[in-house]
Amino acid sequence: MPIAHNLDFVELARYEGNGGGGGRVRLLKDLSMSITDRDVLLVEDVVDTGLTLNYLAKTLALRNPRSLAAVTLLDRPYRRMVEDIPVRYVGFTVPDEFFVGYGFDLDGTWRNLPDLRLVQLTV
């Protein structure tokens, strides 16, 4: 980014609650800096159901950022379970298929491929 900025990281985990229901999200690692009165851009690899991003956006909104938006490389808007998530920038809208490469992996392999590739999973 050609503007002054800071990077920080959060770590979230999704787990299935009692009786299913889409699971719950838990914050494992919080931000190390304040976002009060700052413009915040959440960077996601894939936005699917939106449950995790919704949890994070609502949690961070309580900290009074000036603005809050999200960017994702891959988006699957047809799988959304929540609609009010702040996805402002989308690289690609993709089908409900599995991709590897460019940082995405399958069981720890193919992460290092220089481009995205579709994997045909067999059951």
Residues annotated catalytic, as ranges:
48
Taking the C-alpha atoms of residue 121 and residue 123, their distance in angstroms, rounded to an integer, is 7
Answer whether 122's CB lies under 8 Å from 105's CB. no
Task: Name 14's bridge partners.
Answer: 25
Q: How many CB atoms lie within 10 A of CB 104?
A: 18
DSSP-based helix, strand, coil % in the chain, nearest 5? 10, 40, 45
Can you name the residues that pair with 105 across neighbouring β-strands?
A: none
AA letter at 60: L
